[in-house]
Amino acid sequence: MADHITIRPATGTWVVRAGGAVLGESTQALELIEGSSAPVIYFPRGDIAMTFLDASDRKTTCPHKGEASYYSIVTKSNTLTDSVWSYEDPKADVAQIKGYLAFHTDRVAVEQV
C-alpha cells in the first residue's frame, strides 16, 4: 500500500445525511487516512440510497488511488453537485475501497452514531 495511506474498518455505525434525508447507514464503513489529511469515511455502495445520487461527468485522478468518478446528490430543495466520489477501479494498493462511496463533509453530514 502507498506508504502514506492507511485503510481500516471504521468502528461502530456511520450515517450520512443530506438535505434532511438519511442517504445511508453502515456498520461496514472503511476509514481511509492519507498523510496528514483528515480521515475519510467510505460507505459500501449497498448501504447508500443510490436513488438520491446522479452520476456526474467529473473525473479526477489521484496518483495513489487512481481515477475517481463523481455523483451529485439530489435532495428536495437542491442538488449538491459532485459531492460524492468513488474509485470504480482503484489501484491494487487500495483495492479495499472498490465499491465504496465517500462524501464531501463540507456539504453533507457524516457521523458516527
pTM (2 decimals)? 0.94
Q: Return the C-alpha cell found at 88.
A: 470504480
pLDDT of residue 97: 98
DSSP 38: P
Q: What percent of the chain has pLDDT over 70?
A: 98
Whether 38 has a pLDDT exceeding 90, the answer reads yes
Position 106 confidence tier, pLDDT thresholds 50, 70, 90: very high
Domain containing residue 71: 5-112
Higher pLDDT, 1 or 55: 55
Name the percent of the chain in helix, strand, coil, to the closest 5: 10, 55, 35
Q: Return the C-alpha cell found at 92.
A: 491494487
Position 4 confidence tier, pLDDT thresholds 50, 70, 90: confident
CA pair distance 62, 68, nearest whole angstrom:
8
**Arithmetic mean of pLDDT, 62-84:** 95
- The count of domains in the chain is 1
* CATH classification at residue 11: 2.170.150.40
CA pair distance 100, 85, nearest whole angstrom:
9
